[in-house]
Structure 1
């Protein structure tokens, strides 16, 4: 009888240990993505996560609200983090927002982890900026472009020349811009554009989306990474 009790205790310990390991794996690499846009960015990100094989338990996407500015987006990220802490927090904002500088300062203020665990490093919100708007990233899925844009209305005709029916409420926007093949083109074009901007000192057009993609690829399932 004592042997059976000892076995039960050992099995219980092993179950608890296994559950802790599973919980650690679920938390590891978890990210929060908070968007300025209500449709395009969230729809694109959902398609991207599906392509990378990342589930909603690892990455949470929060869509934008109507007429929200950059500071409001950062504040929403901070509020959500207080409810559920994550390993990394990103905000997707457009450079044409007039309060961008203020939002970037707010991003540098460290977030406090809700669980107050000792030994966990403080983290800051990581801004993913599109200059002047997210459509620059979509355009790079088709071709390289380094002409200067000052606002959304400058970029839209360039994108519509390729996608005449483009609209912000396209739920399949990731596939519309080429899916995985389009993504690989955008990654190459974004790296080339960043190098060109560094040489010229210009700041438009620009995108940080390739950096977000790399961050997400790092937490993709191992079998999915082999196919990327």
Structure 2
């Protein structure tokens, strides 16, 4: 009799814990961010996440070792589906990648659009030509196109422009502390990125543009500061 009572008490306690867990999840969205780069973008986003004091479990940042956009999308979809099979899928998945010279850029965007049409909470966070345009916007708005010239790619030329800015003379991929260096200029970058997309919608010219401000805004909404 005593053992039966103990069993029922444990079962009831387990059920109560599951209910509390479900209630907590209903109020706490979980976000997955899959990055093309292994270092630059994840370092920036992890520093932003820490500064906003977002709960570690609320946002998972998954670097993908510099893979092409189609591989980034495939990796993110696999992580999302694996999580869904466990009964608790991510509320939003952000795919961070550049156009740069990637031949699979358009195909990756189309795949994400197809997934969104099917009801998946997928979001493309693209930068044209590369992530460094987002960093450059912290110093003021520019819609000067960046194109390849000679042996230099569009990304090379943009990075060269970034290196003319204070504190960025020695900038290199995977550099730590970028977020802290630019934090005070974040509102300028947010406004500039939104302005760039608005202009691109009018002119049809998307070089340069970035959607990083949309991801930053989503993370700010999760802030516990």
TM-score greater than 0.5 by the shorter chain: yes
Q: Which runs of 5+ in 2 are unaligned?
A: 84-88, 148-153
Q: TM-score scaled by structure 1? A: 0.80
Larger mean CA deviation between 24-33 and 133-142 belongs to 24-33
How far 1:71 sits from its partner (Å)?
0.4
Question: 2 CA distance for matches of 1:24 and 1:146?
Answer: 46
Does structure 1 residue 209 correspond to structure 2 residue 212? Answer: yes
- Aligned with residue 98 of structure 2, among 94, 110, 113: 94
**1:18 Cα shift?**
5.4
User: Aligned equivalents of 2:73 and 2:202: distance in 1?
Assistant: 31
Following TM superposition, by how much is the alpha carbon of 1:16 offset from its aligned partner in structure 2, in angstroms?
4.2
* Structure 1 residue aligned with 2:69: 70
Q: Which residue of the other structure, out of 108, 121, 124, is the alignment partner of 1:103?
A: 108
Aligned to 1:171: 176
Paired residue total: 206
The TM-score with structure 2 as length reference comes to 0.81
* Structure 2 residue aligned with 1:218: 221
In the alignment, is the contact (CA less than 8 A) between 1:26 and 1:58 conserved in 2? no
Residue matched to 2:140: 143
1:195 to 173, 198, 207: 198
Taking the aligned partners of 2:69 and 2:115, their CA distance within structure 1 comes to 17
- Residue 165 of structure 1 aligns to a residue whose secondary structure is coil
Partners of 1:98 and 1:143 in 2: CA distance: 30
Indicate how the Cα distance of structure 1 residues 195 and 110 shifts in structure 2: closer, same or farther if over 3 A, else same: closer
**Aligned partners of 2:197 and 2:206 also within 8 Å:** no
Say what the alpha-carbon RMSD is for the aligned residues.
2.6
The answer to whether the 8 Å contact 2:31/2:60 transfers is: yes
Structure 1 residues not aligned, in runs of 5+: 112-120
| Maintained 8 Å contact 1:147/1:205 | yes
Which has a greater percent of helix?
Answer: 2
